Amino acid sequence: MTYTFGLDTFGDRNGGADGKALSHAQTISNVVEEGVFAEQAGVDFFGIGEHHTDYFPMPAGDVVLAAIAARTDRIRLGSAVTVLSSDDPVRVFQRYSTLNAISGGRAEVILGRGSSIESFPLFGYDLADYEELFEEKAALFAELRKGGPVTWDGKTRAPLLNQDVVPHTESGPFPAWVGVGGSPQSVVRAARLGFSLMLAIIGGPPARFAAYSDLFQRALERFGRPPLPVGVHSPGHVAATDGQAKAEFWPRWRDIIALVAEERGFAIPTEESFDWETGPHGALYVGSPETVAQKIATNLRALGATRFDLKYGMPGLTHEQLITNIELYGRQVIPRVRELLG
């Protein structure tokens, strides 16, 4: 079995040594360094998730990925996720096929909504139309990815008549995934459109997704498609010891969840719930390399998954803490997980 291990970032705004937030520009240029360093540390994939907030100033991740592509040779580069519903599938295809050209065929795309919603009002979309927008745009993206002229007609963008969309991906379609947060109907849709399945598990017990893997493979069969990989995306933080990782991560996680809780109107999580999520049955991968490796191996096995992307960082963590996280993940966690999975 071939396993792939990635890192994802939302451009989490870095803290400085004095505890103050670094500028958006400094944070973004640090992400470039982190992506380049991830390759050196032995990480297989580096992903950037689209966000539009002061604490995640990362609306144009493809530009940042292009900068990383120019300084690397091997690491795969992609979105994690692209908010397709509030974007134009033609432009998304063009941006990532351009990244594919720059990087010598290393581009990937993960499509989804994420838990981020800011792009809808920003670009003039109604959240109530989310389902319709995603369904139609994902179907068009599936057509574009095949290559060749596209004829398409729908409600969400101008029609295409035998349209040649460039640049071509001569070496074949780049990998494309759909990020799914827990709706079985989304799992079936990914299979129907021929996208791989990325399970975004950010809270609650990961094992509850095991049936989704089966559902995905059975649905692929039903639609007459070959098997496709299942991946897991989850947040976490690796440091030298469990204690240090938790001490660094918890206050940052609490602050950002409190901010989002205030914006969205849900209760602020307690330290008890954090301890549960970082424990053996929770969704957060926070701890020493051994703790994190054991948890990744256990969950990949339970979920029938061959890809794991750790969403590293949290607003307020320093660039140096993130570099340490990347180094431990690449040099210790990944080899250990491979060993555990035999």
Partner 1 sequence: MSTTDTLAVLGAGHVGPVIARLAIKAGHPVAVATSGDPEDIALITELVIPGARPRWAADAVADADVVVLAIPLHRFLDIGPVPLNGKLVVDAMNYWPASDGVLKAFEGGGSSEIVAQRLVGSTVVKALNHIGYHELEDRARPAGAPDRRAAGVAGDDPAAVAAIAGLLDRMGYDPVRLESLRAGRVLQPGSPVFGTVLTLADFERAVREDARSLR
The binder of partner 1 chosen from 58, 99, 197, 219 (CB under 8 A): 219
Q: x/- string (CB under 8 A) for partner 1, residues 109-128?
A: --------x--x-----xxx
Output 21 or 202, the one with its CB closest to partner 1.
202
Q: Distance of CA 161 to CAs 45, 75, 148, 169, 236, Å?
A: 35, 36, 12, 20, 45
| Binding of partner 1 by 269 (CB under 8 A) | yes
Q: x/- string (CB under 8 A) for partner 1, residues 65-84?
A: --------------------
DSSP state of 12: P
Residue with tokens 């095949």: 146
Bridge partners of 83?
112
Question: Taking the complex as a whole, how short is the minimal distance between the CB of residue 109 and partner 1, in angstroms?
Answer: 23
The binder of partner 1 chosen from 154, 173, 205, 335 (CB under 8 A): 205
Output 93 or 212, the one with its CB closest to partner 1.
212
The binder of partner 1 chosen from 56, 177, 195, 212 (CB under 8 A): 212
28/233 Cα distance (integer angstroms): 21
- Please answer whether residues 93 and 169 qualify as being in contact, where contact means their C-beta atoms are separated by less than 8 angstroms: no
Q: How many CA atoms lie within 13 A of 317 on its CB side?
A: 35
Q: What phi and psi, each to the nearest 5 degrees, are found at residue 334?
A: -60, -50
DSSP state of 329: I
Site for partner 1 in 151-190 (CB under 8 A): 181-185, 188
| Binding of partner 1 by 200 (CB under 8 A) | no
| Choices 20-28, 208-216, 247-255, 327-335; region in contact with partner 1 by CB under 8 A | 208-216
**For residue 68, what are the contacts with CB-CB under 8 A and spacing of at least 6?**
32, 35, 36, 46, 75, 77
The binder of partner 1 chosen from 21, 32, 102, 215 (CB under 8 A): 215
- Cis status, amide bond into 121, omega within 30 of 0: no
214/217 Cα distance (integer angstroms): 5
| Binding of partner 1 by 1 (CB under 8 A) | no
* E strands present in 125-276: 150-152, 160-163, 176-180, 196-200, 230-238
Output 88 or 129, the one with its CB closest to partner 1.
129
Question: Taking the complex as a whole, how short is the minimal distance between the CB of residue 2 and partner 1, in angstroms?
Answer: 25
Output 131 or 143, the one with its CB closest to partner 1.
131
| Binding of partner 1 by 59 (CB under 8 A) | no
Q: Distance of CA 338 to CAs 5, 39, 97, 269, 294, Å?
A: 10, 17, 31, 33, 10
Question: Taking the complex as a whole, how short is the minimal distance between the CB of residue 326 and partner 1, in angstroms?
Answer: 28
Question: Taking the complex as a whole, how short is the minimal distance between the CB of residue 267 and partner 1, in angstroms?
Answer: 4
The binder of partner 1 chosen from 263, 271, 290, 320 (CB under 8 A): 263
What H or E segment, with its residue span, contains residue 110? strand 107-112
| Binding of partner 1 by 54 (CB under 8 A) | no
Q: Which residues bind partner 1 (CB under 8 A)?
A: 117, 120, 126-128, 130-131, 181-185, 188, 203-205, 208, 211-212, 214-215, 218-219, 222, 261, 263-267, 269-270, 273, 281
